[in-house]
Chains A and B, each alone.
Chain A
Amino acid sequence: MSKHVYLRAYMAGITVPSAFMVMALAMFCIVRLGLQFPLPIERALVFPMALVPNLWGLWNMLYVAVRRRSQVPIGVFGALVPLIVAPIGLAVLRALAFDIPHFVLAAFPVGLAIIIAGYYLIWKYVVGFFNRLLEIA
């Protein structure tokens, strides 16, 4: 199974955020449409729904390419994703003129630390599992 390594890496990478996206969409329907939450969340949804899964797929492809030259732990490599995703996410929110609630901005540094730790664990165990399953690792 040595063909299409990068395609398999892409598919292994997008699996986690794509699965999460379904739950996020359900939560959006409940919060925004069901509970009539007065914040235009749908404007912000474009980032997690369209960009994040593709970034994960591309990052896993990059991991496969990098690993051929040096042994980088997948958890550490995945923990670097938020350093790229977070600025892009903030830029998208600014471009869409989305008013980020102040309490969310205030907690952003803590949130970033949590995200980095969470990404480390998810990449190490979940994406790593998919990579092994697809014979990429």
Chain B
Amino acid sequence: MSESDERVQDLVRRAIGPMADAELKRDLWPRMRPRLDAAPVRVPWWDWALAAAVVVCLCVFPAAIPAVLYQL
């Protein structure tokens, strides 16, 4: 490491300063686990029908696929 690199490091350290209170107050992962393990959402039949209609439409009108991809 050259002298100028060390000088830049020193300048950056002095400009930013030490981070106070950088640690989390508590572990957030235990709170996230029950939400991830929660019962899956029940999908009503009309939403299944809508999803099927989307797939059928894409098969019948493949020219619409670029427009669909463009909007995502």
Q: Which residue of A104, A121, A129 contacts B67 across the interface (Cβ within 8 Å)?
A: A104
Number of A-B contacts (CB under 8 A): 70
Q: Is the CB of B71 within 8 A of A85?
A: yes
Please classify the interface of chain B as helix (H, G, I), strand (E, B), loop, or mixed, using the class held by over half of its residues. helix
- Chain A CB count within 10 A is highest, among B32, B35, B63, B71, for B71
Task: Produce 1/0 per residue, B59-72, CB < 8 A to A.
Answer: 00101111111111
User: Beyond A44-B70, A117-B53, is A129–B41 a contact (Cβ under 8 Å)?
Assistant: yes
Q: Is the CB of A132 within 8 A of B35?
A: yes
In the bound complex, CA of A65 to CA of B37 (Å): 28
Q: Does B47 contact A (CB under 8 A)?
A: yes
In the bound complex, CA of A133 to CA of B66 (Å): 32
Q: Does B50 contact A (CB under 8 A)?
A: yes
Residues of B within 8 A of A118 (CB): 54, 68
Q: Which residue of B32, B47, B58 contacts A114 across the interface (Cβ within 8 Å)?
A: B58
Q: In B28-53, which residues have CB < 8 Å from any A CB?
A: 32, 35-36, 41, 43, 47, 50-51, 53
Q: Is the CB of A115 within 8 A of B71?
A: yes
Which residues of B are in contact with A by a Cβ distance under 8 Å?
Answer: 32, 35-36, 41, 43, 47, 50-51, 53-54, 57-58, 61, 63-72
Given A52-B71, A52-B72, output 16 extra A-B contacts at Cβ < 8 Å. Answer: A48-B70, A48-B71, A85-B71, A104-B64, A107-B61, A111-B65, A114-B54, A114-B58, A114-B61, A114-B68, A120-B50, A121-B47, A125-B41, A125-B47, A129-B41, A133-B32
Ordered by A's residue number, 24 sampled pairs between the chains whose C-beta atoms are within 8 Å are A24-B72, A48-B71, A85-B71, A86-B71, A89-B71, A104-B63, A106-B63, A107-B63, A107-B67, A108-B67, A110-B61, A113-B57, A114-B61, A114-B64, A115-B67, A117-B53, A117-B54, A118-B68, A121-B47, A121-B54, A124-B47, A129-B41, A133-B35, A133-B36
